Structure 1
Amino acid sequence: MAVQVIPYLMMNGNAKEAIGFYGKVLDAQVLFLQTFGEMPENPEFPLPAEAKDRVSHATIQVGESVIMFSDIFPGQPHQSGSQVTICISTTDKDKAKNIFEGLQQNGQIRMPLQETFFSPAYGIVTDKFGVTFQIHTEEDK
């Protein structure tokens, strides 16, 4: 079982620009980039045209480390300077559940831990200190 702690930058429509900037400045390589328009469509939540080109998820490699990015969905609140979250990624669904449950004590669940199209267990929680964590379970390969 591997566990990684990864900085996750939430941008306000300029994630592609930030990825390009960090690519040049940090000599980073793009490992993955997907826009909201490339995600499977959900008829219950139609995608506005202005969101289609925004980044839903991206990962860049900087040396031995990675940084993850996404743009916020149009209309969501965004405050510059508070857009960094911590992504805890594991291949163990039970470990993800234990971490999520521990962090939610006296905190606030932003998205319940649940199966998504990209993860068997993914959720977002802000702990009692105001730090927001994304808990992500990777499929064991």
Structure 2
Amino acid sequence: MLSTTPYLHFMGNTEEAMTFYKSVLGGEFTIFHRFRDVPGSEKIPAEDQEKIIHASLTVNANFTLMATDYLSSMDQHLVLGNNFHICLHTESEAETERIFESLSRGGKVEMPLNTTFWGAYFGMFSDRFGVHWMLSFNAS
């Protein structure tokens, strides 16, 4: 596998979450569509028109993060869980620390950054949006 593209679902705060991720990870939004932009959107309630149907944040050639808003008006319901982590493989300890500190702010650290028995500089946390992350730097 050459890359992994995580796809995240939020209940109305996709724009806030994706803007936050861009501020930490960098990159560019290659797609940022609102429900109002799609054919048939006139059937969607007014309060849902500005929500995000699809956002794609391309950080680099190896990492793209995608997301959407679930709509309760379409009987979509989000259940936050711990059934996934997004693992970012970093290029240095400094990059690992910068991303870890920024993304974990307001969240919950599950495992602080440290050198593990398998040799990686590694840490785990959930961010303020309930998304679970792993950061790993392998010096070798």
TM-score of the two chains, using structure 1 as the length reference: 0.50
Cα distance change on mapping 1:60 and 1:79 into 2, 3 Å? same
Relative contact order: is structure 1 or structure 2 higher (C-alpha 8 Å, sep ≥ 6)?
Answer: 1
- 1:52 equivalent to 2:49? Answer yes
Question: What's the counterpart of residue 58 of structure 2?
Answer: 61
Using the TM superposition, give the Cα deviation of residue 25 of structure 1 relative to its aligned residue in structure 2, in angstroms. 0.8
Question: What's the counterpart of residue 21 of structure 1?
Answer: 20
Q: Indicate the structure with greater helix content.
A: 2
Cα distance change on mapping 1:42 and 1:51 into 2, 3 Å? closer
Alignment partners' CA distance in 2, 1:61 and 1:8: 12
Letter paired with 1:77: H
SS at match of 2:22: helix
Question: What's the counterpart of residue 36 of structure 1?
Answer: 35
Q: Is the 8 A contact 1:61 1:67 kept in 2?
A: yes
Q: Root-mean-square deviation (CA), in Å?
A: 3.0
Question: What's the counterpart of residue 80 of structure 1?
Answer: 80
Q: Is the 8 A contact 1:34 1:58 kept in 2?
A: yes
Per-residue CA deviation, residues 88-133 of structure 1 (Å, 9 max, x unaligned), is xxxxxxxxxxxxxxxxxxxxxxxxxxxxxxxxxxxxxxxxxxxxxx
Unaligned runs of 5+ in 1: 85-141
Alignment partners' CA distance in 2, 1:83 and 1:52: 30
Alignment partners' CA distance in 2, 1:82 and 1:48: 31
Q: Paired residues, what number?
A: 83
Letter paired with 2:70: I
TM-score of the two chains, using structure 2 as the length reference: 0.51
Alignment partners' CA distance in 1, 2:52 and 2:11: 10
Question: What's the counterpart of residue 8 of structure 2?
Answer: 9
Question: What's the counterpart of residue 110 of structure 1?
Answer: none
Using the TM superposition, give the Cα deviation of residue 81 of structure 1 relative to its aligned residue in structure 2, in angstroms. 3.3
SS at match of 1:24: helix
SS at match of 1:80: coil
Using the TM superposition, give the Cα deviation of residue 70 of structure 1 relative to its aligned residue in structure 2, in angstroms. 0.3
- Runs of 4+ residues deviating >3 angstroms: 81-84
Per-residue CA deviation, residues 17-69 of structure 1 (Å, 9 max, x unaligned), is 011100101113111110111100167xx211111000001100122310111
Using the TM superposition, give the Cα deviation of residue 80 of structure 1 relative to its aligned residue in structure 2, in angstroms. 2.2
